Every structure is written in structure tokens, then in C-alpha cells.
């Protein structure tokens, strides 16, 4: 099936109010253009230089989300144009984003990435760490950042109960933090190709789907980036 057909299928499966990030990492600009021609405007990438190169090559009305782990020294590549950084997993990164966004005279949307999976290798705040950090009120001093919600990745397993547990933990933290950030805090980003229907059932408002739309990834092609 073509990219546009796969995209149409995924779109048709999402209830109203759930947005789709088409995760295009490792795929060439032509693949993104095909999805763009089919009406998709929101794309996600996980490497800053690759994201920057695609931004420069592709139409400027694309909304780009950074979804992968971001090193503070790479923030400068994407701060001038990225719409949202979904993977804010440390105070240092939030501070670097504040600084670079301010330099560009921009306001950046961010999500707080939460670690809920069993794998220790996955990144994100531990919920208690995050609560402690938020209790120190640092976001009040970050006017260039708009905290829009929470992002997370479920455990990589076939056990649906484990995945559901992870999604419900994210939903529960999202509900807990919402009163503190107010009306702008409206985004719960969870669900990927293999688990997004369950994520939606658990309250996701933003799903990040890559391989189901673009096919399997070949990392060797973009290793140089
Ligand atoms: C790659 C990636 C995705 C998409 O994964 P698929 O399984 O291809 O849908 C979603 N979220 C994050 C954070 C990713 O890095």
C-alpha cells in the first residue's frame, strides 16, 4: 500500500479530537512530500540535524515536532522553526530551550516526557522527580516555553495489560498536572504504530505513528546525520 493509502487508513481510525504526528525519521523528503500532498501537515523527527535539513527542503507550512532525545547543544538547530518539543526530559533541556527560543523571539510548545516503561533505557522524568522539579516553580521563569502536556512511550511488549498500565499511568499524571498549567495543557501524546488504538482508548490526544505509514526504517541510510 502507498504512503497516502496508509495515511488515510490511520487517519480514518482516529476519533475526532485526536491528532496524528506522522513520524518520518530516516525516511527521505520525497516520502514526506507524498504524505504532505495527501494533506498531512504535522510531522515528527527524532534527530535535530535531520529535522533541520528536512525543514529547509520542504514546504514551510509543515508543523514539525521533535520527538526524540535532544541534547542541549543541539537545541540551536531546531529552535528557530520547530513547533513543539515533545521530549523534554530534564531541567537542563528546558532551560536550554528557554534560552534559544528567547534568542529567536519565539515561543515554543513543549511536552514533559515521562518514563513509565519497564525498560530503564527509555528516557523521561520519573513522576516523583518531575513533581519535585515542578514544586520549585521553575516554569514561571520560562516565558518562552508553553507547557502543553505530557508525552510517553509504553513498554515494548505484546502484553496488552502492561501497555494499558503504562498508558493509564501517563493519563493519570496528565490529569494530575492539568490544574497547575491551565487551559493550554491539553496534549497527551502517547501511542505508536503497534499500540496507538489502545493509547486512544486510554485518553491519548496525539498519536505518533511512523512505520505503519512510511514502512520499516533503515537506519543505515541516515547514519551520517
Ligand atoms: C520512532 C518513534 C515513534 C514512531 O514509531 P513507530 O513504531 O514507527 O510508529 C513514536 N514516538 C517516538 C518517540 C519515536 O522515537
Question: Residues with beta carbon inside 6 Å of ligand 1?
Answer: 23, 25, 46, 67-68, 153, 192-193, 208-212
Alpha-carbon span 9 to 17, nearest angstrom: 16
pLDDT band for position 135 (50/70/90)?
confident
Q: What b/e sequence results for 12-27 when a residue is b if at least 16 CB atoms lie within 10 Å of its CB, and e otherwise?
A: eebeeebebbbbbbbb
Give the number of the atom of ligand 1 that is nearest the alpha carbon of residue 23.
4
Beta strands in the chain (DSSP E): 19-23, 42-45, 63-66, 84-88, 108-114, 145-152, 187-189, 206-209
Q: Which of 13, 46, 66, 214 to mutate to test the pocket of ligand 1 (most atoms within 8 A of CB)?
A: 46
Give CA–CA dist 103/72, Å, rounded.
15
Of the candidates 200, 160, 174, 178, the one whose C-alpha atom is nearest the C-alpha of residue 113 is 174
The CATH topology of domain 3-212 is TIM Barrel (3.20.20)
Is it the case that residue 125 has pLDDT exceeding 90? yes
| pLDDT in the model for residue 141 | 85
| CA–CA distance, 155 with 105 (Å, rounded to integer) | 38
pLDDT in tens, 32-49: 999 999 999 999 999 999
pLDDT at 121 over 90: no
* Burial tier of 75 (Cβ tally within 10 Å: 0-12, 13-18, 19+): buried
pLDDT at 222: 57
Annotated domain spans of the chain: 3-212
Q: Which three cell numbers stand for residue 182?
A: 491551565
Mean pLDDT check: name the lowest of 45-59, 88-102, 121-135, 176-190: 121-135
How far apart are the CA of 138 and the centre of ligand 1, in A? Answer: 29
Identify whether the C-beta of residue 125 lies closer than 8 Å to the C-beta of residue 89.
yes
Q: Does residue 119 register a pLDDT over 60?
A: yes
Kindly give the distance from the C-alpha atom of residue 26 to the centroid of ligand 1, in angstroms, as a whole number: 11
Range of lowest pLDDT (94-98, 112-116, 119-123, 149-153):
119-123
Which residue's CA is minimally distant from atom 13 of ligand 1? 67
Mutate to test the pocket of ligand 1, among 208, 215, 216 (most ligand atoms within 8 A of CB): 208
CB atoms under 10 Å from CB of 154, counted, come to 25
Average pLDDT, the chain: 95
Q: Between 163 and 219, where is the model more confident?
A: 163
pTM score of the predicted model: 0.95
Query: Ligand 1: which atom is nearest the Cα of residue 217?
Result: 8
What's the CA gap between 38 and 105, in Å, rounded?
A: 32
**Per-residue cell: 66:** 521533535
Amino acid at each position: 500500500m502507498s504512503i497516502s493509502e496508509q495515511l488515510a487508513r490511520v487517519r480514518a481510525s482516529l476519533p475526532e479530537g485526536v491528532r496524528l504526528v506522522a513520524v518520518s525519521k530516516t525516511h527521505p523528503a520525497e516520502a514526506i512530500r507524498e504524505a504532505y500532498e495527501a494533506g498531512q501537515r504535522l510531522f515528527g523527527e527524532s534527530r535535530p540535524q535531520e529535522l533541520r535539513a528536512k525543514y529547509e527542503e520542504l514546504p514551510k507550512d509543515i508543523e514539525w515536532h521533535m520527538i526524540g532525545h535532544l541534547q542541549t547543544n543541539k537545541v540551536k538547530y531546531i529552535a528557530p522553526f520547530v513547533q513543539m518539543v515533545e521530549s523534554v526530559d530534564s531541567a537542563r533541556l528546558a532551560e536550554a530551550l528557554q534560552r534559544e527560543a528567547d534568542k529567536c523571539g519565539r515561543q515554543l510548545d513543549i511536552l514533559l516526557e515521562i518514563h513509565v516503561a519497564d525498560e530503564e533505557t527509555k528516557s523521561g522524568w520519573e513522576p516523583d522527580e518531575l513533581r519535585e522539579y515542578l514544586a520549585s516553580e521553575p516554569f514561571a521563569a520560562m516565558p518562552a516555553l508553553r507547557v502543553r502536556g505530557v508525552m510517553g512511550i509504553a513498554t515494548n511488549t505484546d502484553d496488552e495489560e502492561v501497555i494499558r498500565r503504562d498508558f493509564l499511568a501517563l493519563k493519570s499524571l496528565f490529569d494530575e498536572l492539568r490544574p497547575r498549567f491551565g487551559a493550554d495543557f491539553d496534549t497527551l501524546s502517547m501511542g505508536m504504530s503497534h499500540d496507538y488504538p489502545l493509547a486512544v482508548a486510554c485518553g491519548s490526544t496525539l498519536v505518533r505513528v511512523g512505520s505503519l505509514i512510511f514502512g520499516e526504517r533503515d537506519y543505515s541510510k541516515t547514519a551520517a546525520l
